[in-house]
Amino acid sequence: MTALEVDATEAPPRPWWMERAECRGKSELFFPPPGERPAARENRENRARAVCLACDVLSSCQDFARTQRELGFWGGESEIERAEAGFAPTTPVIGLRRHRSTRTA
Ligand code: SF4
């Protein structure tokens, strides 16, 4: 089978735990708007973290996001926190260099 023969309409099944996600309907807290400033990101991620800490499926979600190298805030972790744990997103993490330099200064 070639790439052109793959049935793109067949999406992979959703993980079971997504039906129990506390963040359903709150995507604006978990994914940044274009051009988000650092202070706004920190505020948004703190609010997302509070939602995650009340979520029954945090562990499954965190494992999924790490394995899938997701972007955004998942399982109580930001992209930068996942990268620091050894699970960097497959796309560049904007701000990681700046974040590291402020933590080591
Ligand atoms: S841990 Fe956070 S991101 Fe994951 S499903 Fe729960 S609320 Fe959503």
**Between residues 77 and 98, the one the model is more confident about:** 77
84 Cβ closer than 6 Å to some ligand 1 atom: no
| Amino acid identity for residue 35 in this structure | G
Model confidence pLDDT, tens digit, residues 33-79: 999 999 999 999 999 999 999 999 999 999 999 999 999 999 999 99
Which ligand 1 atom is the nearest neighbour of the CA of 30?
A: 3
Q: Which of 39, 26, 11 is nearest to 74 (CA)?
A: 26
**Between residues 74 and 95, the one the model is more confident about:** 74
Q: How far is CA 58 from CA 2, 21, 28, 30, 53, in A?
A: 37, 8, 18, 14, 7
| pTM of the predicted structure, to 2 decimals | 0.79
65 C-alpha to ligand 1 centroid (Å)? 10
3-state SS class at 78: coil
Is the pLDDT reported for residue 2 higher than 80? no
49 C-alpha to ligand 1 centroid (Å)? 9
Q: How far is CA 26 from CA 6, 10, 32, 51, 92, in A?
A: 33, 26, 12, 9, 24
Section 76-104 average pLDDT: 76
pLDDT on residue 10: 75
Structure confidence at residue 30 as a pLDDT band (50, 70, 90): very high
**Between residues 22 and 102, the one the model is more confident about:** 22
Section 9-35 average pLDDT: 93
Choose which residue among 57, 60, 71, 78 to substitute to test ligand 1 binding: the one with the highest number of ligand atoms within 8 A of its C-beta. Answer: 57
